[in-house]
Amino acid sequence: MNEDLKVNLSWLPQDHVEASSTENASAAGSSLVPVIDPEPELLVNPWDIVLCTSGTLISCENAIVVLIIFHNPSLRAPMFLLIGSLALADLLAGIGLIINFVFAYLLQSEATKLVTIGLIVASFSASVGSLLAITVDRYLSLYYALTYNSERTVTFTYVMLILLWGASICIGLLPVMGWNCLRDESTCSVIRPLTKNNAAVLSVSFLLMFALMLQLYIQICKIVMRHAHQIALQHHFLATSHYVTTRKGVSTLAIILGTFAACWMPFTLYSLIADYTYPSIYTYATLLPATYNSIINPVIYAFRNQEIQKALWLF
């Protein structure tokens, strides 16, 4: 009789087990109910630790780039201004990830959530915007090769920087100004407290920017290959070297665009189809690669540049 009771209890939910054990304590005894210690809850989410570590690496890398460009007057060409903008945006994004970790476990409040998510959104928006601006700069420098390095170019670069940072700051202020889901949790996206509509607009904007970058890089490849072909026709002995250089340049552009897409596309597509009801592990698994783009950016755009390398050794 006691064995039958034990088997039956093992198939019941825990609350039923507790009720049944209370009612039958006089007949069966408390020893019939197996005592299972609850698994200890993790004080810190491992995914948050990984994101904080990623933010720390992002901050360290891009802080070096920002300091190098800021302390070297020779690095004031439009290209370096845009690289500096990209590094500053990624630096702020890394700081935002660190602050998010600290606030999530030490200072939990609605205000800190809004400020933190606003900083992260603004920073990553400025990062993607800077990548687009760098692409535009490279295209124009090839298309207007003879006249691009002029005062008008510098003015155009400053205008691009003002527009992209102004737009990014406005996007980051939206959650603080009331565009959030704190009052209606059913409207939350995969990144709380952003609403589903906010996430959808950001995702669609990213896809449009990616399409524009893709088109510009295709045009860049065409221009480079056309110039290389013209040079090869005029100087046959340089044909092989120009072919190698052109192939290397096209490969570099493919790596840049492929890395950007591989990092950001998973989270972009996921935020379009998912909402707050989806398991958080999917959000972490798609958001983490997006942060890797800010880790890779200094390597692609800054540390591979010969002038920045020289300034780094002299720094």
Q: What is the CATH number of the domain that holds 241?
A: 1.20.1070.10
Q: What are phi and psi of 195, to 5 degrees?
A: -80, 165
Task: State whether 157 and 269 are in the same domain.
Answer: yes
Q: What are phi and psi of 190, to 5 degrees?
A: -70, -20
Residue 195: beta bridge partners?
188
Task: State whether 101 and 217 are in the same domain.
Answer: yes
Of 131, 61, 86, 67, the residue nearest 311 (C-alpha): 67
- 90 neighbors 57 (Cβ within 8 angstroms): no
Task: State whether 30 and 151 are in the same domain.
Answer: no
Q: How big is the chain by its Cα radius of gyration, in Å?
A: 27
Task: State whether 192 and 216 are in the same domain.
Answer: yes
| Number of C-beta neighbours around residue 184 at 10 A | 9
Task: State whether 127 and 259 are in the same domain.
Answer: yes
Q: CA-CA distance, 189 to 277, in Å (whole number)?
A: 9
Task: State whether 204 and 253 are in the same domain.
Answer: yes
pTM of the model: 0.81
Predicted confidence at residue 63, as pLDDT, reads 96
Q: CA-CA distance, 100 to 50, in Å (whole number)?
A: 12
Predicted confidence at residue 35, as pLDDT, reads 44
Q: Where in the sequence is the domain holding 19, given as residue range(s)?
A: 1-40
Contacts of 249 (CB under 8 A, 6+ apart): 224
Q: CA-CA distance, 141 to 83, in Å (whole number)?
A: 15
Task: State whether 6 and 128 are in the same domain.
Answer: no
Average pLDDT of the chain? 81
Task: State whether 159 and 301 are in the same domain.
Answer: yes
Task: State whether 201 and 56 are in the same domain.
Answer: yes
Q: CA-CA distance, 254 to 229, in Å (whole number)?
A: 20
Task: State whether 210 and 172 are in the same domain.
Answer: yes
Task: State whether 240 and 144 are in the same domain.
Answer: yes
Q: How many domains does the chain fold into? A: 2
Task: State whether 5 and 31 are in the same domain.
Answer: yes
Q: For 189-239, give the DSSP string.
A: -SSTTSBHHHHHHHHHHHHHHHHHHHHHHHHHHHHHHHHHHHHHHH-GGGH
Which residues, given as ranges, of the chain have pLDDT below 70? 1-42, 146, 149-151, 228-250, 315
Instruction: Give SS3 for 107.
Output: coil
